[in-house]
Structure 1
Amino acid sequence: MCSHYQSLKDAELLLKKFGVREKPASLGSYDMWPRRQGLFVRRPVEHDAGDEAVPEREAVVGRWGMIAPGTPPEKLAQADKISTFNAKSETAHKLWTFRLAWRRAQHCIIPADAIFEPDHRDETKAKFGTTKSVPTCFTRADGAPLGIAGLWDRYRDAAGQWQESYTMLTINADEDPLFRDYHQAGKEKRMVVILPEASYGEWLIAPAEASRDFLVPFPADRLVAEPQSQ
């Protein structure tokens, strides 16, 4: 699971790397934790309206942690406490929070400068003189931003206004040469889906039945993992 990442500081990268036509009014938070407002890229809701003025992609700010669109006002406080910032790709299609977005192929890309995962290995703890897990920063080796596969949806707040929310899709990492070394021993290893740039466009328009074709590990040799002092 990824519960901490850094979004983009440079709005120009949205245009250059993610194909967004216009800079958004806000980039959201940079240091991202669950329930904060973050940036994601999607096809506009009006993409099939036949209006040439509607761009192919747009950058939107929403809650990191999906809230199901059918959540009644009296259940919003409860839904806010649930950890829905990651969605297992194996089960997203049948879980209440994610299934409608999965069925509708409401794909998005979450731009990130870096993601963070905990290193629980004894040798790493000893190196930093701590008994706690050591946060590790993952970036692309070529310096480009990460494009993380996700799902988005909308829900109505207590005032009846539409709000955006999104989640990151994850896959098993037990055999991944890099991510298998992170998270606690004895527990399943997970990793977010980092998309290659060449597949950004295809992911955003892919139908639901093709979603899993994109949910594969990013090459480990194209990532850099750097432990962070606490």
Structure 2
Amino acid sequence: MCTNYTPATPNHLLPMTELGPLTWPVETWPAETYPGYLAPILTAQQGAAGTRVSLARFGLVPRWCRDTAHAATVGRGTYNARCETVQEKPSFRSAWRERCFALVPMLNYFEPCWETGRAVRWRVEAADGKPLLAAALHECWIQPDTGQAVHSFSLLTANADSHALLNRLHRPGDEKRQLRLLGASEGFVWLRQPADQALSWLDRQPGVALIGQAAPLRSDPQGTLPF
């Protein structure tokens, strides 16, 4: 699972011309992302060949949530979506069926390594130093009492038992999971996939070469915005 990552900035993504013209939000976001925090996501620009960048909360809030308290509870458990069950799970199936596909741009993400016998936070990043683009789902929930729209997202994950780096991470005995990472050209195509072909298309993608190293947790991540 991925619960913490470093979001990319406009300067990191503008060179990725394969994504088409980027439309950016004017708001800012935290320097690190945890469930419930705001972070940028990329979605297909409606009626155009470009890509829209907007802010959304990490932890998908399904449209059937009853109220704000219910949404907060559900959102704390939906920050990752398993590719094996995403089409059937009540929290994700509507977003999948309606092709609410997104990319989450990040410089790196963090996972625990237990090889020393205790959890040591590791930083995982692209071997070529480029930003990572993680396949994701997004959703828009309307608060019943205020009418305010809450935009949220979940990162797609798959089994990583055979991954040379990622199978070293997480607690011994736990299933190893990995983000579905794409290059810029593949990311552009992902945003426009038909729902009935998207999973098989993801399975055919080569992924991204990764490296990892120990990265102790900062005592006070900057600019946190809890849900």
Q: Shorter-chain TM-score: which interval? A: 0.7 to 0.9
Whether the 8 Å CA contact 2:136–2:153 is kept in 1: the answer is yes
1:78 positional shift: 2.6
The structure with the largest alpha-carbon Rg is 1
AA partner of residue 121 (structure 2): P
What is the match of residue 129 of structure 1? none
What is the match of residue 79 of structure 1? 71
What is the match of residue 19 of structure 1? 20
Superposed CA deviations along residues 185-215 of structure 1, whole A, max 9, x for unmatched, are 1111111111122201110000111111214
SS of 1:16's partner is: coil
Alignment of 1:85-104 (within 5 A): 85-104=79-98
Q: Does 1:64 pair with 2:63?
A: no
SS of 1:92's partner is: coil
Structure 2: gaps of 5 or more residues: 218-227
More helix, by proportion: 1
**Runs of 4 or more off by more than 4 Å in structure 1?**
none
TM-score by length of 2: 0.86
Q: Distance between the aligned counterparts of 1:33 and 1:110, measured in 2?
A: 13
Q: Distance between the aligned counterparts of 1:56 and 1:70, measured in 2?
A: 30
Whether the 8 Å CA contact 2:62–2:92 is kept in 1: the answer is yes
Q: Distance between the aligned counterparts of 1:159 and 1:20, measured in 2?
A: 34
Q: Distance between the aligned counterparts of 1:195 and 1:120, measured in 2?
A: 27
Q: Which of 163, 167, 190 is the matching residue for 1:203?
A: 190
Q: How many residues align?
A: 210
Q: Distance between the aligned counterparts of 2:169 and 2:157, measured in 1?
A: 14
Superposed CA deviations along residues 42-76 of structure 1, whole A, max 9, x for unmatched, are 014xx25xxxxx56310010110000012222xx3
What is the match of residue 202 of structure 2? 214
- Provide the alpha-carbon RMSD of the alignment: 1.8
What is the match of residue 109 of structure 1? 103
What is the match of residue 3 of structure 1? 3
Whether the 8 Å CA contact 1:21–1:55 is kept in 2: the answer is no
Task: Report % sequence identity.
Answer: 26
Q: Distance between the aligned counterparts of 2:126 and 2:198, measured in 1?
A: 23
Distance change >3 Å, CA 20–CA 6, structure 1 → 2: farther
Q: Distance between the aligned counterparts of 1:187 and 1:21, measured in 2?
A: 39
- Quick one: higher RCO (CA 8 Å, sep 6+), 1 or 2? 2
Q: Distance between the aligned counterparts of 1:20 and 1:28, measured in 2?
A: 21
AA partner of residue 119 (structure 2): S
